Amino acid sequence: MSEVQRYRELAEALRERIAAGEFAHGNSLPSEQAFAVEYGVTRTIVRSALRWLEQRGLVTARRNIGWFLRAPHQVQGFDRLRSFTQWAEGRGMLAGARMVSRESGPATEREAQLLRIPIGEPVLRWSRIRTLDDRIVMLERSSWAPWVAPLLETFPDDGVSSTQALAEAGVAVVFGNHRIEAVAASSEEARLLGVRRSSPLLQVRREVFAKDGRVVEFGVDRYLPNTIAFEAQAAGTADHAERGRRSGPGMAAGAAILFGALVAHCVPWAIAANDLVSAASDLVA
């Protein structure tokens, strides 16, 4: 039997065990060496079999850790896009966070444009690893407007919800424009998320507004594949969408989602490399 036949046979055997529920979603699989001993093959054949399963979305490799069974992705709709923590709680899941970096510095040209402040104005930046039920799902990067930065100075490194912290300080936030695209993991992101460099990630760019229309935060979230999907359902006519597009922050709850007849499940390999989905979420008045 050729090496190709052997690894394909092993891959089929492992796929049957996965389908039978022998391995728990999100948990690590036995090591390559353990599989090699169990099936009487080399680690090279085991690795080839696991890579074959990875290409079919069944398992994933985490650098220096091992192989994991992919968990079914969670779906979030655009009809009312809530904060990560609010959404997790609504699904009975435990949201977590770990601060990777936090700094204050002068606003770049890009930050100034998005936060609607002068270039050089002090902004607070942070990066956090976000988890669901103790499983890493994404890297969150945020740049905070100067007027809210002092309210987050004492936010703990393991704090979960910045939205709740701002609400307790009297700032009610709503979620505005969101832009979704597939991107490749950088070296830093690969290290923090435990994937290979250039692995596909789902990127969500966020512009967050207060109820009075002021910009609160500009954020970029990068999700691991097969952890979450975003679903949008068409509503209203093109004329309604155009009116919603012009209305900007503060438009009434229930405004039409700015999609055509589209339902998008945006796991990275479910969309073409350069495909882009732009939407304005339903804002809470």
pLDDT the model gives residue 264: 31
The tens digit of pLDDT for each residue in 118-147 reads 999 999 999 999 998 888 999 999 999 999
Q: Which pair of structure tokens corresponds to residue 49?
A: 């079999």
pLDDT the model gives residue 237: 46
Contact 255, 247 (CB under 8 A): yes
Q: What are phi and psi of 104, to 5 degrees?
A: -115, 145
CA distance 103 to 227: 29
CA distance 208 to 82: 11
| CATH topology assigned to domain 3-69 | Arc Repressor Mutant, subunit A (1.10.10)
Between 40 and 280, the more confident residue is 40
Domain locations in the chain as residue ranges: 3-69, 74-280
The tens digit of pLDDT for each residue in 214-247 reads 999 999 999 998 777 666 555 444 454 444 444 4
May I ask the CATH class of domain 74-280?
alpha beta
Q: Please list the residues that pair with 138 across neighbouring strands.
A: 130, 223
Its pTM stands at: 0.59
Torsion of CA 70, 55, 98, 229, to 10 degrees: -70
pLDDT the model gives residue 232: 57
Average pLDDT value over all residues in the chain? 77
Q: What number is the average pLDDT over the span 59-81?
A: 67
The tens digit of pLDDT for each residue in 24-46 reads 766 789 999 999 999 999 999 99
Same fold, 3-69 and 74-280: no
Indicate the pLDDT class of residue 105, thresholds 50, 70 and 90: very high
Q: Which pair of structure tokens corresponds to residue 111?
A: 């930050």
CA distance 280 to 278: 7
Contact 134, 146 (CB under 8 A): no
Q: Does 270 have pLDDT greater than 80? A: no
